[in-house]
Amino acid sequence: MNMLSAIERAAVAHASASPMLARTEAWAAVNSGTRNLAGLATMADLLANAFSVLPGRLALLEPDPVETVSADGLVQTIEHGRHLHLVVRPDAPVQILLTGHMDTVFGADHPFQTARWLEGGHLNGPGAADMKGGLALMLAALEAVEVSPVADQFGYEVLINSDEETGSLSSTALIAGAAQGKLAALTYEPALPDGTLAGARGGTGNFSLIVRGKSAHAGRNPEDGRNALVAAADLALRLAAAREPMLAVNPARIDGGGLNNVVPDLAVLRVNFRPRDKDAIARAQAALDAAAAEVSASHDVRVEVHGSFNRPPKPLDPGAEKLFGLVKQAGADLGIPVSWKATGGVCDGNNIAACGVPVVDTMGVRGGLIHSMEEFLIPESLPERAALSAVTILRLAQGALA
């Protein structure tokens, strides 16, 4: 702490006094699974009320339309919740972006609905670590920075979307717009229990491939049919064969089929790609296009491809390395060890980095076992990580990344 300036020490003290734990517990009590629109509406209102203590223009924005493919091959529009967007001092010379998400993976009917305290003092609760605790400490850090004498030196945008857990498809354009002109970005996904951050990330792409064949009687005239299920299976095998060291391919599910005496005329293949760099995306797209064309021709079926590579890979380029170094030094001055490692997971940090903005995307709480009923938050990490954010933001505001 001796390496901190007086302004930084005051901000750390202010952030530490914030009711972060109480906010986290209250927010974790609200089910805000991505498809629970009523719960997301409640959560959006709670967050809007909490973040309204900050200056600037706050709005709850309507989501962009998103299409999905149903099990019976219909392309439908799926609804999402509103996104919180706050703009503070947009004309200031230094601009940064802070992002998070209000949705969880736990639906309205999921058995994991309430929080409880575990032996050892950890908080087990839906979204406690991912990322309602992160939102609480983000707010605490911003409140602390706002009362500092350097607040007018920088501006920022806060974006809290409602669909991160399903790919941020209704907020992709909003993320890209918010990233424009930013010096750096901080995203509040949880760190590992020991505080390790996510460094480089691979990308992801999710696709639904509709295979349309022709039905026929399986006994009387099967030769007149075109078996969509068999074609989808062939498609899955061809795509699986595209797997290579820089590209993971996971054919995950085939919907379709019916009665044993009917040649199925419809199947939907779901497949996930995990490219580790941009070149792998190009190879994956080429494999997808080739497999669709070959299966269409060899099975005399029609293949419709829906989906996209919605999370580009996030390498550690020089700008990102410089930002990670700034966070590491802030941690060192606070007595908090900071390290990072590559991960196969994806988040909104991928999309921000694709806009050319350096981002550290695990500035949230320390916790673990996320996306499970064993998810836990380490409560002492709330003031710790709020302090880390506050000092990082103050140093960005004063040109430490220039």
Residues 31 and 138 in one domain: yes
- Domain membership of residue 293 as a residue range: 204-311
Residues 370 and 245 in one domain: no
In the chain, % of residues over pLDDT 90:
98
- In this prediction, residue 33 carries a pLDDT of 98
Cα–Cα dist 156/389, whole Å = 14
**Which CATH number covers residue 258?**
3.30.70.360
- In this prediction, residue 111 carries a pLDDT of 97
List, in sequence order, every beta strand (DSSP E) within 203-265. Answer: 204-212, 247-256
Mean local confidence (pLDDT), 347-356: 98
Residues 306 and 320 in one domain: no
Residue 159, domain member (yes or no): yes
Residue 402, domain member (yes or no): no
Cα–Cα dist 206/145, whole Å = 39
**Which CATH number covers residue 65?**
3.40.630.10
What residue type is assigned to position 240 of the chain?
Answer: A
Residues 168 and 146 in one domain: yes
Cβ atoms of residues 236 and 267 within 8 Å = no
Residue (of 120, 86, 92, 110) closest to 33 by Cα position: 110
Cα–Cα dist 382/388, whole Å = 10
- In this prediction, residue 117 carries a pLDDT of 97
Burial class (CB within 10 angstroms; exposed 0-12, middle 13-18, buried 19+) of 220:
exposed
Domain boundary among 248, 282, 311: 311
Residues 292 and 329 in one domain: no
Give residue-wise pLDDT tens across range 19-42. 999 999 999 999 999 999 999 999
Cα–Cα dist 26/136, whole Å = 10
The first and second tokens of residue 121, run together, are 């003092």
Domain boundary among 275, 291, 311: 311
Residues 217 and 326 in one domain: no
Give how many domains the chain has, as a whole number.
2
Mean local confidence (pLDDT), 65-73: 96
Residue 1, domain member (yes or no): no
Residue 175 scores a pLDDT above 90? yes
pTM (predicted TM-score): 0.96
DSSP code at position 171: T
Residues 211 and 325 in one domain: no
Residue 1 scores a pLDDT above 70? no
